[in-house]
Amino acid sequence: MVGPPPLQGLKVLEFAGLAPGPYTGLLLADAGAKVLRIDRHTTAGQAVPAPDILTRHKSSIAVDLKSQDGVEFIKELSKTADVIIDPFRPGVLEKLGIGPQILCVINPRLIYGRLTGFRRDGKYAQMAGHDINYLAVSGVLSLLGRSGDKPYPPQNILADFAGGGASLFQGILLAIIAREKSGKGQIVEANMVDGSSHLATFPRQGLKLPYGNHPRGENLLDGGCPYYDTYETKDGKYMAVGALEPHFYAVFIKGLGLSNQKWEKRHSDRASWPEMRLEFETIFKSKTRSEWEKIFDGTDSCCTPVLEYSELEMDNNREGDQRPPVTLRETPCLAISQKGTDPSIHGQGPGIPGGGYSGTFLIPGQGGEEALKDWLGWKKGKDFDTRDGGFILKNKSKL
């Protein structure tokens, strides 16, 4: 029998921020945690929306963190929270009086997750930055790009989400496990420089090995090898080739119609790679992507179509129905797709509007009153109120 999601009952306060912090909250929410986003509220009385579409399964309240009433409200919430997500530069929440040295004393079981771009103790700690900057100073960016060309960042996937948000999520889970043993929470720190560098462990260590010690874009796995690359087809689409091992390479060569020619014995001959690539490019442009799919589907050629999300979203025969990153058979995560109705495969419960393709903005205050009632049994007018749209405690002496 399928049980509830693994983090059901976990209470998370997520301070509104940009991509990596909200992604940590999204991972927790998809696993069943109750995530309440703390949106910024100005003294002028207007809540400032966060430019955030990673809001699935979350609620929001707007709090004026620069007011004493706002600070007291956060302190009160922290007494029963399990996790806090702090996405700001070092010292921001500390200056407001809601840093870990305060909140972890109020609630010794609190797990205080802090996520920064640069290292907290590094030379760039107080500088602004984005994904490209964190990749740059970590050394990872120097590995990415074609031969003879400048380094290229892979959108903001690597530092923001994998190195940052997902790394903090992992740290929070480790702290939850440790709390089961000690009964105490702790500060969890992640940064996108160390996270990205750790993800690059294999290529970084490969710099000292034959498969990766050539200049950028001239190695086995970075576009230098012709049988580990992408190729344009007749209709302007692409096929991806990863036929590294000789037995896979042989199947691939057969599919191209090059069997019993010179290429079988030149698999590891780097000197022949430029000629080999030109041959592959010419052949791939002779057929459409769908024609190549018919040739390579079901084989061990390691040759597959480069699918675009626009077609995945519309084609039920493709692997485009978005699902949780892992499947827990007994306590599955929540569904993230309209099709997510099979607990043993997609997640628990019915799918949600938008699924994995269309995010929705969370309006400041949306679902906040219901969340406070669910978390603490609070009622508006009795335990809390709103002033100019910002949440404040109604009667601190009774809380």
Give the residue numbers annotated as catalytic, written as ranges: 160
| Separation CA 112–CA 14 (nearest Å) | 10
For 321, the token pair is 């129905």
**Cα torsion 243, 248, 253, 257: sign:** negative
User: CA 192, CA 169: separation in Å to the nearest integer?
Assistant: 13
Strand order in the sheet with 238-242: 228-232, 238-242, 303-305
Rounded CA separation 336/346 (Å):
8
- The β-bridge partners of 38 are 15, 61
Report the distance separating Cα 90 and Cα 118, nearest Å.
10
β-strand partners of 35? 12, 58
SS3 content of the chain, % helix, strand, coil (to 5): 35, 15, 50
∠ Cα 261 264 265 (to 5°): 110
Which of 58, 71, 65 is CA-nearest to residue 21? 58
Among left, alpha and beta (phi > 0; psi -120 to 50; other), residue 303 is beta
